[in-house]
Structure 1
Amino acid sequence: MSSQEFDQLIKNDTDFLKPFAITLTHDPEKASDLFQETLYRALVNREKYQAGTNIRAWLYTIMRNIFINDYRRREKQRSVLDSVSSGFASASESTTLNDGISTLQVKEIRAAIHRLPGIFRNPFLMYMDGYRYHEIAGMLCEPLGTVKSRIHFARKQLKDQLSRY
């Protein structure tokens, strides 16, 4: 299938995606973003589409997967931030009610992260942003095992640097 035929097929069969995006997000602006991301991913991955198969099902699957991955990423960020803030809250509540201590701790943690060597820092920050190991490996063009070990070593170095917490 040529790229022009694929583009025409996409143009003809995308109106059904907008209501589905609104159903998933319950927000017109987020639905618009989801719709655009779905079309972008479909165009980028056009070689994966098998001519003659159901284009609507393929596009639905792309949209659903994007939505699920974004949801998981947000939940992971929320749980990491909740655990970090609760850990800081319990430490600061026992000593003082001043938020300055927890602010200093967060600054020290951020500084420690940015002191990591780039080969460890970049995968670690992507992991903290909610990306999965295989997504990070794809973006960095590195083997999956390399990404996992770099994130592990980043955690280990941070643990050593921040042992007093």
Structure 2
Amino acid sequence: MTAIEFTYHIAKVSKSLKPFAMRLTKDSEDANDLLQDTLLKAFTNRDKYADGTNLKAWLYTIMKNTFITNYQRMVRKNTFIDTSDNLHYINSFENSTENEAAGKFAMDDINKAVNSLEEAYRTPFMMYYRGFKYHEIADRLRIPIGTVKNRIHIARKELKDKLYVYAHPF
């Protein structure tokens, strides 16, 4: 298969790779990077592709392995990766562009919601958010650890209620 034919076949299949990249990375920019890395690896290793085999499956395998390799590299560097349930999958449309304005509006709403919490709930919540452990918060605020956990739980619940629109956009 010539390079032009290979490129043509990859272009036909590559549109279906973006949703898979989004499911793996949970971030539009990271998904675009993963897709680009995958297509680059596929093109540079096109001599390893056997004619007649499933090109789509080959590309999915490259993408999955690239993601795993990048993930392992980040873990070795002790980079924090958020795997909490707070991440939301955002449907991406092929021809849409992002201008980051929605992110600014969301951050403004989040900051307003956090600032509207009572001080007794906001302080432990923000300390936990900044990386303090429960026992460290309890020591610094001189309150029992159970109280710290309870206040953080209540703060989360109130924020969830105040920011309901972001969890259920339509």
TM-score (norm 2): 0.46
**Higher share in helix:** 1
TM-score (norm 1): 0.47
